[in-house]
Amino acid sequence: NPAEIISAVGGSADSSGGKKETWKFRGLRPYNFPYRRLAAASLIISRYIDGNGFEKLLQNFVDKVLDGEFKLKKFVEEFKTDTTDLNNFWFYKTTFVSKKFSKPVALLGGERILLILINTFLPAAIAKINKTEDDASLKIIYQWWLKQPALSTNRTARITSWRCGFGNISGQSERIQQGLIQIFRDFCDTKKGVCTDCSFQSIFIMPTGTFF
């Protein structure tokens, strides 16, 4: 039973020996439910698992960045899960009992693929180049990241920017946006509607020696 398998993957044993829920659905868009994320992961793995597929994909990313030929939109389109398979259950559902979509919906969108790129491919590329001690190539990779524009403006990043006094971030790089998201995760208390007790601002008045 697929539902039982998914439930087993999503649960973990508690101290009483029973099961407890570990998946969080509250606040998630149905399109982003764990069921669809697992389905996307399985499709990606099945596509690249044979013949050093992931290694080839990473090397292709590195080569194109170093040659100045990497196109983010093309990468996103190639990485998207193909919705032409009419038999794929999760192209049409968000849960096992949800209403079926009239049209197939991709399991991964552009923003999620961008996150996979910067959180997986970029660190892996840097680690790969570090092994060869190729400083020139490493510099190109870093410069590419510095200039990488955001595909869209993230709501969390917008809120954090205004809270910190940075203002409008429209048109900024993805690096800046990811930095703002990290600030939010590290310092912002979503249960409070005010920033009067925020510890982030205190960083700027700490003695330099505090960090060393």
Q: 107 burial class (0-12, 13-18, 19+ CB within 10 angstroms)? A: buried
pLDDT digits (tens, 9 = 90+) for 154-203: 888 888 888 888 888 887 888 888 889 888 888 886 665 567 777 777 77
SS3 (DSSP) at 53: helix
pLDDT digits (tens, 9 = 90+) for 76-132: 887 777 666 777 899 999 999 999 999 888 888 887 888 888 888 899 999 999 888
Quick check: 70 and 61 in contact, CB under 8 A?
yes
pTM metric for this prediction: 0.68
